[in-house]
Amino acid sequence: MAEIDFSNQRALLIEDMAEARILQKKMLTDFGFKQIELAMKAESAIELLRSNTYDVVLSDYNLGSGKDGQQLLEEVRHSNLIPNTSTYLMVTAETSIEMVMGAIEYQPDGYISKPFSQALLQRRLLKLVESKQKLYEVNHALDQKKYEQAIEEAVKVVEEHPFLESKCSRIKGECFLELKQYDNAIDLFQTALKERKMPWALFGLAKAYFFKGNYEEAESRFRQLMLDNRFFVNAYDWLAKCLVKLDKKEEAQATLIDAVAKSPKAILRQIELGELSAELNDFETSEMSFRRAVFLAKHSIYSDSSIYFQHLKSFIGIAKEHELSNRQVDNFKITLKKIQKLFGDNPKIKSGAYEIEIELFITQDKLNQAKSAHLLYKQDVEMGLAAPESDRFKKKLEPLLGESSEES
Amino acid sequence: MKKVDISVILASSIHESKNAVGNLMYQLQTLKSEFDGPIEQVEKINNIEEGLKQLNDEWVEYLYLFKLASDGYDLQTDTLQVSEFLDDQVFVLSQSATARHLILSYECDESLLANFDERLLTSVISTGVYNALRFAKSKILLKAEVVDNYLVFQIEDDGPGFSDTNNEEENFLDSSTGLGLYFTELSAQAHSNNGKEGYITKTDSSSLNGACLSIYIPQ
The DSSP secondary structure of B86-109, one letter per residue, reads HHHHHHHHHHHHHHTT-EEEEEE-
pLDDT of residue A408: 44
- Average pLDDT score over chain B: 87
Low-confidence ranges of chain A (pLDDT < 70): 1-3, 94-102, 404-408
Chain A neighbors of B84, CB-CB under 8 A: 127
| A9/A160 Cα distance (integer angstroms) | 26
CB contact under 8 A, B26 and A229: no
Please write the tens of the pLDDT for every residue from B24-36.
Answer: 888 888 888 888 8
Closest CA to A313 of A266, A270, A277: A277
CATH label, B77-218, candidates 2.40.128.120, 3.40.50.300, 3.30.565.10, 3.40.50.720: 3.30.565.10
Q: Which of A208, A164, A165 is nearest to A186 (CA)?
A: A208
Judge: B26–A113 Cβ closer than 8 Å, yes or no.
Answer: no
What are the chain B neighbours of A117 within 8 Å (beta carbons)? 29
When scoring A62, A94, A230 by the number of chain B Cβ atoms within 10 A, the one with the most, hence best to mutate, is: A94
* Tens of pLDDT, residues B28-66: 888 888 888 898 898 889 889 999 999 999 999 998 998
- Answer whether B74 sits within 8 Å of A230, measured CB to CB: yes
Distance, in Å, from the CA atom of A346 to the CA atom of A330, rounded to the nearest integer, reads 24
**Cβ within 8 Å, pair A120-B119:** no
- Quick check: B111 and A118 CB within 8 A? no
Helix (H) or strand (E) holding B8: helix B6-34
* B63 contacts A95? CB cut-off 8 A: yes
| Predicted local distance difference test score (pLDDT) of residue A335 | 95
What is the per-residue pLDDT for B74? 81
| Nearest residue to A60 (alpha-carbon basis) of A84, A36, A38 | A38
Domain spanning A10-129: which CATH class is it, in words?
A: alpha beta
Contacts of B80 in chain A (CB under 8 A): 163
Q: Which residues in chain A have their CB less than 8 angstroms from residue B60's CB?
A: 94, 113
Nearest alpha-carbon partner for B102 in B123, B132, B124: B132
Residue A280, number of CB atoms within 10 A of its CB = 14
Does the beta-carbon distance from B76 to A197 stay under 8 Å? no
Are residues B113 and A165, on separate chains, in Cβ contact within 8 Å?
Answer: yes
Q: Which residues of A touch B81 (CB under 8 A)?
A: 163
Of B64, B74, B91, the CB nearest to A102: B74
Confidence of residue B172 (pLDDT cuts 50, 70, 90): very low
CA dist., res. B85 & res. B77, Å (int)? 13
Check: CB of residue B82 under 8 Å from CB of residue B144.
Answer: yes
B113-117 and B77-81 as β-strands: parallel, antiparallel, unpaired? antiparallel
A162 and B113 within 8 Å at the Cβ level: the answer is: yes
- According to the 3-state scheme, what is the secondary structure of A6-23? CCCCEEEEECCCHHHHHH
How many Å lie between the alpha carbon of B131 and the closest alpha carbon of chain A?
Answer: 21
**CB-CB under 8 Å, A97 with B23:** no
Interface of A with B in 89-128 (CB under 8 A): 93-95, 97-98, 101-102, 113-115, 117-120, 123, 127
Contacts of B113 in chain A (CB under 8 A): 162-163, 165
pTM confidence score: 0.80
How many angstroms separate the CA of residue A17 from the nearest CA in chain B? Answer: 10
CB A219 within 8 A of CB A232: no
Residues of A in contact with B27 (CB under 8 A): 19
Asked if B76 and A162 come within 8 Å (Cβ–Cβ), the reply is no
Chain B residues near residue A23 by CB distance under 8 angstroms: 26, 29-30
Q: Do B74 and A231 touch (CB under 8 A)?
A: yes
User: Which of A339, A290, A349 has the alpha carbon at shortest distance from A315?
Assistant: A290
> Which of B31, B63, B74 should be substituted to probe chain A, the one whose Cβ sees the most A Cβ atoms within 10 Å?
B74
Measure CB to CB from residue B30 to each of A23, A98, A196 and give the nearest one. A23
Neighbours of A102 (CB within 10 A): 21
CA distance A137 to chain B (A): 22
**pLDDT of B98 over the 60 cut:** yes
Query: How many Cα neighbours within 13 Å face the side chain of B49?
Result: 22
Cα–Cα distance measured from residue B84 to residue B106, given in angstroms and rounded to the nearest whole number: 10
Neighbours of A381 (CB within 10 A): 17
Contact criterion met (CB < 8 Å) for A98 and B74: yes
Alpha-helical (H) ranges within A16-161 are 18-31, 42-51, 69-78, 94-102, 118-134, 136-143, 147-160
- Percentage with pLDDT > 90 across chain A: 70
pLDDT of residue A96: 63
Angle at A340 between CA A336 and CA A344, to 5 degrees: 150
Residues 12-51 of A with CB under 8 A from B: 19-20, 22-23, 26
Q: List the domain boundaries for chain A.
A: 10-129
Q: What is the DSSP annotation of A28-56?
A: HHHHT-SEEEEESSHHHHHHHHHH---SE
Provide residues of B within 8 Å CB-CB of chain A. Answer: 15, 18-19, 21-23, 25-27, 29-30, 33, 56, 60, 63-64, 73-74, 76-81, 84, 88, 91-92, 111, 113, 115, 119, 193, 219
| A20 CA: distance to closest CA in chain B (Å) | 7
pLDDT at A97: 63
Asked if B63's CB is within 8 angstroms of A120's CB, the reply is no
Q: Nearest-CA distance from A167 to chain B in Å?
A: 9
